[in-house]
Amino acid sequence: MKHERATLPTPISSASFWHSEPSQFLLGHRTTSELPSSADIVIVGSGITGASIARFLVEDGRANCESIVMLEAREACWGATGRNGGHCQPLLFDRTADVAAFELKNVEAVRTYIEENNVPCEWRTVDGCRSFWTEELMAQAEQDVAILKENAPEIAERVTVIRDRAEMDKCRIGSGCVGATITKDAGSLWPYKLVTFILESLIKSNQLNLQTTTPVTQIRTSSSEESKTKPQYTLETPRGTITTPTLILATNGYTSHLLPSFADLIVPVRGEMSALIPPKNSTILPHSHGMVGALNQPANNDDYLVQRPFHSVPNPSGHLMFGGGRGAGKLPSVGISDDGVVDEDAAAYLRKALLKLLAMDGETEALEELKAAAEWTGIMGYSRDNNPWVGPVPGQKGVWLCGGYTGHGMPNGTLCGKAVAKMVLAEADGEDVAVTQRRMVEEGGIPKTYLITKERIDAARVLPTVAVQDREGVIGSTTQARHAHGVSV
């Protein structure tokens, strides 16, 4: 079966609220006026993954003498990271214990970097509240938490199950909810500001050459005799070509545009986001939120919410950053690479839903819907086996991939980027990649199920396609995650 490839990012995108305070330094930025003809390492993509790869390459020290060029099709951080929900919440009981532990490490790594560098990105440590709106979904969540307690009790201690209405009222969960889980130490942030801080720091210290509005249209492999042992890749762009022996794709939902062999493994999926004006005289929510199976939404497509601060930040309006509503949308979303389109039905759902999903304070009596300060879309990369793809691409020596987060990139992208950087540098030092990977898995540096192998690719292709899984309500669910890990349900 032939699968459609992703397109390039569209030149004109919907207006993300996160881009309302852009980095003036990075707008239209090209570190050198001309595209370099070659570089030791080329990274394609400037979101959380691409920025993290560049940062960890530099911090490692072994790349100090390397020239690192980052290519971005649009402005810096204009893709999924500049369009997501601002959520940095580990999903501990939806995953196996090693993945849960990795996501916890990732959230801690993000928080630590922000605090140590005083990054002005509105980081707020919050507990993550996931509410379940049918008895079946709540019972499944309780079963999953019980399994986590058996397999990883120290992680399970972070999760509290609540069914008592008084406890749900403390979380401001609306009536009609069956129960919820509270997970300690999640986070909310302005993701674009974190990424641009990292990129600006690297550029200003002369450690990264960023070329924005430079889409890669094609990758060619050198046909010389020497390239058989050390391939050279030539990347074609509208501004010319750049050649490199080490190419790292941090392209997430757009991956198959440049890597056609992954068209059925990482599929673009368009999601809806909004920045909503909170009710007058309301107070900030104490938690971040995920709503599962609410208002007849598919159980595998959570709605999700964080809130901006009311004070001590630019534009302190307490915007409710609310995303999801895909089940209410009328436009196709799976296999769609165009983030220039807003699904008006999904947007209308988001404006109305919070007044039903939350017991909001403030002046809500006359409200039928919340006013939107911004409504936009973004392109996620759904993985066929529900795990990110991290490591060298089989059969293409020198090409590396890091993406396919299935809408869950913020609790994964930073340390997945670090893992790729370590693999690249270890191989450059002459170490076998398989040896590096085994050590990293043993140390908790990357879950084994994230690594790219031919065997994993073959196993993923036995699963139903992303479109079929999404239609059947499987992809992204606990059931799918366990099947992917070979765990019986």
Domain limits of the chain? Answer: 17-82+192-267+385-484, 125-186+274-381
CATH class of domain segment(s) 125-186+274-381:
alpha beta
Number of Cβ within 10 Å of residue 152's Cβ equals: 18
| pLDDT (tens digit per residue) in 12-68 | 999 999 999 999 999 999 999 999 999 999 999 999 999 999 999 999 988 777 899
Complete DSSP assignment for 147-212: HHHHH-HHHHTTEEEE--HHHHHHTTBPTT--EEEEEEEEEE--HHHHHHHHHHHHHHTT--EEE-
pLDDT of the residue at 224:
59
- Rounded to the nearest 5°, which phi and psi values hold at 46? -125, 30
pLDDT reported for residue 328:
95
The pLDDT tens digits for 421-465 are 999 999 999 999 999 999 999 999 999 999 999 999 999 999 999
> For residues 8 and 6, what is the distance between their CA atoms, to the nearest angstrom?
7
Alpha helices in 41-190 (DSSP H): 48-60, 97-116, 135-151, 153-156, 165-170
- For tokens 């669910």, the residue is 477
pLDDT at position 299 is 86
The closest of 158, 104, 97, 106 to 130, measured between CA atoms, is 158
Statement: the pTM of the whole predicted model exceeds 0.85: yes
pLDDT for res 488: 25
Rg for the chain, CA atoms, rounded: 22
> At 347, is the secondary structure helix, strand, or coil?
helix
Residue 15 to residue 374: CA distance in whole angstroms = 7
Q: Write down the architecture of domain 17-82+192-267+385-484 according to CATH.
A: 3-Layer(bba) Sandwich (3.50)
Is-contact 121 194, C-beta < 8 A? yes
Domains 17-82+192-267+385-484 and 125-186+274-381 share a fold: no
Question: Using an 8 Å Cβ cutoff, are 141 and 477 in contact?
Answer: no
3-class DSSP state for residue 398? coil
Q: Taking phi first (over 0 means left), then psi (-120 to 50 degrees means alpha), and beta for anything else, what does residue 460 get? A: alpha
- In one-letter notation, the amino acid at residue 218 is Q
Give the Cβ contact number of residue 480 at 10 Å.
25
